[in-house]
Structure 1
Amino acid sequence: MIDKTDVEKEKPVQIGQRHVQIFLLFISIIVNYVAKFNVGVAVVAMTDAATTNPNFPEYQWTDMQKSYILSSFFWGNFITQFPGGYLCRRLGAKRTMLISTLGSSLLALLPPLCVSWGGWGIYCAIRVLQGLFQGFLFPCLHAHLAAWCPVNERNRLGALANTGIECGTLLSMFISGMIAASSIGWPGIFYVSAGIGLAWCAAWQWLGANKPAESRYISAAELNYIQTSQNHNEQVELDEIGQKIQVPWHAISTSLPFWALVVARSAHSWGFSTLQAELPSYMKGVLNMDMKSNALYSALPYLAMWCMSYVYLIISDILLNRNIVTLTVIRKTFNTFAFWLPAIGLIYIGLLDEQQKSVAIVIMTISVGMNAGATIGSALNTIDLSPNHAGILMGIVNTAANVIPILTPLIVGLIVSDEHNRVQWQLVFIIAAVVFALGNLFYLIFGKMSLQPWDDRDFLSNKGLQNIQLSVSRFNKKSNGEGPMSAVVIS
């Protein structure tokens, strides 16, 4: 038996291949999020050229048509979340993530070439296909983290990779806005997005590896450190993670900690989509303040979110490394900050009037910034529950969570018939706050940060043997010693 202190002593001090993999994951999220969210700026530039560069074509699309374009990405994205986890197990994270980003990047080249003859409909179709390809990303990302991260570094490295979400969201606004106003105009938004995506694909093909044992550049010391850490702490074989282990579907579907995670991530998706998409509309309609036309106000909440993601990371690292609190306390506390504080912020903003615009901006920035804690709070929980099935779990979780951004705008449309009516918006915010609050409460009660029994690579075979033994035991009791049947045993 290897002592934990021995594992710590073997830890390589230099930057290793595991850090290269984390950096590649970080960049992959950025390039995919730039392609995902540049549509907000692109649609404005394509329908109102005077706001950016008037030397490029302008299209007369209705508000409904623009809404279809903005939401169409999610129509495809939720469909491939679950298949993404399965495909990752079959092909490996490296190949599946390459397919995901390569497909999305090549599709990014098409709008400038196709919209002139296909209109808003062809742009919608391209966005749906991009969503389909990007749906493979996060299930693979979590499977890759499980394969590459030593157990005691999982929280830190996983959180670092996921900060690409905030960074990608922020950069998509800044980069797209500057490009649209430049000499290459709105078509440049798509070409730059495709270019950085294809560049990442080349780096991933060169440096990426499904598992540490497959890396051409990893040192023997680092390989031994990762494998020793994972084998000692979880009793799994690294070279078989996510490849040959059968999925215990029944055990997963009846696991309360897993459903607590599904509920938490779905509640987060509802609340954050309200913060991201609906709050700016409220501030324009009720507070008479167009957030989207002001680059600083638009980017400020996401800048706060990106900065806060590192604050959460540093605090959690200090608390865990000094054994001040457990991982369970970290996850549930951070998730509470990320859910309940924005819930309070949503309700409070709904009480403000046009004379309190500055207060509304501050609260919105704080709410979005505090929401960054959801990454450490619950997004990484799939790896806690089951490193072997992290990709599958993330596929299921993200499928549920990605349906929400399709539903919330429809619900808002039913409630808000007059965008200047504050009472109608208050109902929207109250619903989002209640979802935030109850989702986190369910996670606090039923969420677990420990390895589940069904993660064991021999879980299904052991379960089958236990069932056979139980059946034989019952049969022998029924026979009550009559005849030779009483001698039936399991050797």
Structure 2
Amino acid sequence: MATELNKGPMLGQRHVQSFLLFSAITVNFMTKFNAGVAVVAMTDAESTNPDFPEYDWDEMQRSYILSSFFWGYILTQFLGGWLCRRYGARITMFASTLGSAVLVALVPWCVSWGGWQAYCALRMAMGLFQGFVFPCIHAHLANWCPVNERNRLGALANMGIDCGTLVSMFASGLIAASSIGWPGIFYVSSGVGIFWCIMWWFFGADTPGESKLISEAERSYIENSISSSHKAKEGHAGTSIPVPWKAIWTSVPFWAYMITKCCQSWGFSTLQTEMPAYMNGVLLMDMKKNALYSALPYFASWVMAVVYLIIADILLTRNIMSITGIRKTINSIAFFVPAAALIGVGFLDSEQKTLAVVLMCTNVGINAGSTIGSTINTIDLSPNHAGILMGIANTASNVIPIVTPLLVGIMVKDNHDRQQWQVVFIISAVIFVVGDLIYLAFGQMVTQPWDAPDFLDKERSPNLQEEGYSKALEAKESTNVDEAKRKEIEAGLESEEPKKKALNDEL
């Protein structure tokens, strides 16, 4: 009972921070994925508002636009992790979201004179800014999540992925068909991003110790609950803890996590970026229906994320399954079912629109379990270095969304050809299965030895002892050699004395 009282308010600042992270992901995903609908609207004005310019971009050019965001995104993941450790998540995420929000507002003006190349340049710059976001998200969660609430708060924050994609898909289609046309997609995304920056500036805090709104009971509960010793009394999390790079890069559980994340990224990005084009080309849906049906799978994902969260909480709090069992079981469901659904979607045509939408909703909805299954595994492996781990893994996994649109551009020469889309979906399904098998075999959900703040010191200590012992041996050997030489010289001098005496006698 006393433990409950020490948690502070039922809805405390840790929940506020989780909500702010949720909304951060939401607004950034709106600017990130509105291109999927915007590009269709900009190249097919008849399906939206014909009062705005239409551009004659072929499938390859559209693929360049969709993938260009990730050209910049992969370059700043490491930088995001470092900036978060150096300056904290509050400043880093503020700059990231504000920069992205300003750039997205420039798209209508720049495209009017620079064409698709200008759009690519802007999306690449947006990617550079947004590369800071997820390393900060994971580092911030590690600072604010009590150990037994990691699943809950981590999953709540990552629901912004589904919400942002849902809003981006659905709202973008409605806006494009409205009186403000496709330029409105970019203006609305920009306005929402700037509004979030204002809220984050006033309510965000890097650590419980730096929050002016947190109660003493909740602060103590969070800090005492987290097992690592790097908490916020010394400043921003992790600033005084060196990164054990060699240990991270040689960690099998970390490699399993990173490969799994890459496989998840492949399947998910295929649907995220290509769904509007698939539904427009194969299922022959107009823009309004396209927007609605493109958004439905992400609504299903949002709902299923809540379902997964409730199930995981029940299994964990009642000790029915360990955290390892929960993560691997849910991740397997989240990968294997969508793999089957992806293959099924490829065999449907415009006569089976309803079944196609049901399968896509199943695909994305069931895949929502990957958040609890593997995405927040960084906090299990290393709370101290969660931002760094996410930076590394996100760099690798976001190479994938660069490749998938380009692959679709190469393989899908005719947007209306269902058989060409089949190959795309089958490849994604196979990658899903391989990724989960690796996670089952090598994934771990326990804090790794290299998470310890003094890990490098302990690793150096035996080396220093061995080095000292080696130097002592060398010094001893050197002394022995010098002593032997001295004795040889003395012996030589003694043997020379009789010769010198005889010579003197002769003289």
TM-score (norm 2): 0.87
CA distance in 1, matches of 2:283, 2:238: 51
**Alignment match, 2:264:** 268
Structure 2 residue aligned with 1:127: 123
Q: 1:195 to 1:274 in 2, by over 3 A?
A: closer
- The within-5 A match list for 1:57-76 is 57-76=53-72
1:25 to 21, 26, 29: 21
* 1:395 correspondence with 2:379: no
> CA, structure 1 residues 321+292, in 2 after alignment: closer, same or farther (shift >3 Å)?
same
- Deviates further, 62-71 or 274-283: 274-283
Counterpart contact for 2:135–2:391, Cα < 8 Å: yes
Query: Of residues 211, 233, 236 in structure 2, which corresponds to 1:239?
Result: 233
| Equivalent residue for 1:347, pick from 339, 343, 360 | 343
Q: CA deviation at 1:262?
A: 0.4
RMSD: 2.6
282-291 or 246-255, which deviates more: 282-291
- Of stretches 340-349 and 168-177 in structure 1, the one that deviates more from structure 2 is 340-349
- Aligned residue for 1:163, secondary structure, equals helix
Which residue does 1:489 correspond to in 2? none
Aligned to 1:246, what secondary structure does the other structure show?
coil
Contact 1:143 1:242 in 2 (8 A): no
Q: 1:184 aligns with which of 174, 180, 187?
A: 180
Could you tell me how far apart the structure 2 residues matched to 1:188 and 1:289 are?
22
Q: Which residue matches 2:166? A: 170
Task: From 450, 457, 460, give the equivalent of 1:454.
Answer: 450
Query: Is the deviation greater in 404-413 or in 218-227?
Result: 404-413
- Quickly say closer, same or farther: Cα 1:462–1:220, change in 2 above 3 A: same
Is structure 2 residue 145 aligned with structure 1 residue 149?
Answer: yes
SS, match of residue 52 in structure 2: coil
Following the alignment from structure 1 to structure 2, what is the Cα–Cα distance between the partners of residues 38 and 430?
Answer: 26
Shift of 1:425: 4.0
Distance 2:134 2:313 in 1: 23
Deviates more, 1:41-50 or 1:78-87: 41-50
Q: Which amino acid aligns with 1:109?
A: A
Write the letter of the residue equivalent to 2:252: L
Superposed CA deviations along residues 85-113 of structure 1, whole A, max 9, x for unmatched, are: 11111111110000100100111221233
Deviations along 1:359-380, one digit per CA (max 9) or x if unpaired, are: 3332221111100001111110
Task: In structure 2, give the amino acid aligned to 1:212.
Answer: P
Secondary structure, aligned partner of 2:241: coil
Determine the C-alpha separation between the residues in 2 that align with 1:283 and 1:24.
33
Deviates more, 1:105-114 or 1:279-288: 279-288
Alpha-carbon distance in structure 1 between the residues aligned to 2:282 and 2:24: 38
Shift of 1:357: 4.2
Of residues 260-269 and 66-75 in structure 1, the stretch that sits farther from structure 2 once superposed is 66-75
Whether the 8 Å CA contact 1:236–1:456 is kept in 2: the answer is no
- The answer on whether the counterparts of 1:71 and 1:406 sit within 8 Å (CA) in structure 2 is yes
CA contact (8 A) 1:292 1:298 kept: no
**C-alpha distance after superposition, 1:157-184 (max 9, x if no partner):** 0100110110110011222222223332
Aligned position for 1:79:
75
Match of 1:92 in 2: 88
CA contact (8 A) 1:43 1:66 kept: yes
Give the whole-Å Cα distance in 1 for the aligned partners of 2:30 and 2:437: 33
Question: In structure 1, which of residues 6, 10, 22 is the aligned counterpart of residue 6 of structure 2?
Answer: 10
Match of 2:135 in 1: 139
Distance (Å, rounded) in 1 between the aligned partners of 2:254 and 2:178: 47
Secondary structure of 1:234 counterpart = coil
Corresponding residue number in structure 2 for 1:322: 318
Query: Counterpart in 1 of 2:307?
Result: 311
Letter in 2 for 1:122: A
Residue 443 of structure 1 corresponds to which residue in structure 2? 439
SS at match of 1:242: coil
Give distance in 1, aligned partners of 2:46 and 2:283: 25
How far apart in 1 are the matches of 2:419 and 2:54?
36
Closer/same/farther in 2, CA of residues 60 and 416 from structure 1, 3 Å limit:
closer
Q: 1:259 and 2:255 equivalent?
A: yes
Paired residues of 2:65 and 2:120 also in contact (CA < 8 A): yes
The whole-number CA distance in structure 2 between the counterparts of 1:54 and 1:419 is: 22
Question: Secondary structure at 2:17's aligned position in 1?
Answer: helix
- Partner of 2:384, secondary structure, is helix
What is the deviation of 1:418? 5.2
Q: C-alpha distance in 1, partners of 2:62/2:445?
A: 42
Asked if structure 1 preserves the Cα contact closer than 8 Å seen for 2:105 and 2:186, the reply is yes
Amino acid at match of 1:165: I
Task: Spell out, residue by residue over 1:14-53, the C-alpha distance to the aligned partner (whole angstroms, 9 max, x if none).
Answer: 3211111111111111111111111222223333333322
Q: Matched residue of 1:133: which SS? A: helix
How far residue 468 of structure 1 moved from its aligned partner, in angstroms, is 2.0
- Of residues 212, 217, 223 in structure 1, which corresponds to 2:213? 217
C-alpha distance 283-183 of structure 1, shift in aligned 2 (>3 A): closer
Unaligned runs of 5+ in 1: 486-491
Structure 2 distance, partners of 1:419, 1:60, is 15
Per the alignment, residue 354 of structure 2 pairs with 358
How many angstroms does 1:396 deviate by?
Answer: 0.4
Superposition deviation, residue 78 in structure 1: 1.2
1:207–1:321: structure 2 CA closer, same or farther, 3 Å change rule? same
Q: Do the aligned partners of residues 290 and 45 (structure 1) sit closer, same or farther apart at CA in structure 2, a change above 3 Å counting? A: closer
Question: Which runs of no fewer than 5 residues in structure 2 stay unpaired?
Answer: 481-507
Deviates more, 1:289-298 or 1:48-57: 289-298
1:417, CA displacement in angstroms? 4.7
Residue of structure 2 in register with 1:433 after alignment: 429
- Deviation of 1:7 after TM superposition, in Å, equals 4.8
Q: Partner letter of residue 317 of structure 1?
A: D
Cα distance in 2 for residues equivalent to 1:427 and 1:454: 42
Tell me the distance in 2 between the aligned counterparts of 1:97 and 1:409: 27
AA in 1 matched with 2:268? F
Q: Show the counterpart of 1:158.
A: 154
Q: Percent identity?
A: 62
Shift of 1:414: 4.1
Residue in 2 that maps onto 1:466: 462
Deviation at 1:324, TM superposition (A): 1.4
Matched residue pairs, number? 478
Whether the 8 Å contact between 1:283 and 1:291 is mirrored in structure 2 is no
- Tell me, in whole angstroms, the C-alpha distance in 2 between the residues paired with 1:251 and 1:328: 22
How far apart are 1:293 and its partner, in Å? 5.2
